[in-house]
Amino acid sequence: MKKLVLTSLLAVFAVSGAHAAGTLDNPLYRPDKGMFYSMTELSSDTNSTTRVDLDEEFGYGITDRLAVGAAVSMAENNWFDQSQWGTLGIGVNYRLLNMENWKADVYGSYGVNPVWDYGHSFMDEDLTWYNWNVGMRAGYVTDAWTVAGHVDFDYSNSESFNWGDDGWHTLSLGMDILVAMNEDWNLAVGAEYTGIMDDRVENAGQWEGKIGANYHIDDNMFVGFYLSKYMAHRNPGQWTVADGFGYGAKFGIQF
């Protein structure tokens, strides 16, 4: 998954004897060799409470440094009057740096969206876009807290291997903080800026900020709840804060 005021949070919640470093909700989590994991998320927005999005990520550790995964998303609107199979993607993640506290991962993925939209055919050529992503995430991990930053580059087009001028290029920069409040609860805070790099849309981009809390059922399962907020701009200095806020719940398990 930021430039929120986080330094004071670290000072307040960095308690000893906690377990932030090795938990599923850690932004630098990765499965050990031979381990599977699943992350399930349900989300909505106060401006559209009849719409619910379901996101699922499933992965496997090939080695302690190399992991592969798949992701899928679904959505319904107006209490299932409309529905959509959104994203279907595959990806790979490699731990480039694995020092005692410092960690760094490089990753890439390929996906399509939407796969099957309401009222349209499967993989409709007029709707479906193809996305390539590469990125890097790095940070510092302790037993009480983790700070991790990331940079992502995405290229999307209406054809899978069309590298022409008709696609969209976006760059995302962000930071995540995870703080152990006690043996059962972690506090998660983060923010990300995503900007469109194409000249035909000048100075377009948005900030997303999130804050949430995760409860650890045991060492291999957690459930979390969060709130999010968007702020977007089209021209320098012209920022618009979105009405309402997003909210959601997550469930993670490894086995």
| Domains (range + CATH), the chain | 7-254 (2.40.160.40)
The rounded distance, in Å, linking the Cα atoms of 2 and 146 is: 13
The DSSP H or E segment spanning 152 is strand 145-157
Ranges under pLDDT 70 in the chain? 1-22, 163-165, 202-203, 236-237
In the numeric block, the tokens 């330094």 are attached to 7
pLDDT of residue 162: 74
Closest of 178, 243, 173 to residue 213, by C-alpha:
178
The rounded distance, in Å, linking the Cα atoms of 197 and 169 is: 5
* Residue 10 backbone dihedrals phi, psi, to 5 degrees: -60, -40
Whole-model pTM: value is 0.85
Residues 219, 220, 225, CA angle at the centre, nearest 5°?
Answer: 95
Tokens at residue 246, please?
């997003």
pLDDT of residue 170: 94
Contact 182, 215 (CB under 8 A): no
Strand, coil or helix: 42 = strand
The rounded distance, in Å, linking the Cα atoms of 35 and 153 is: 28
pLDDT of residue 4: 31
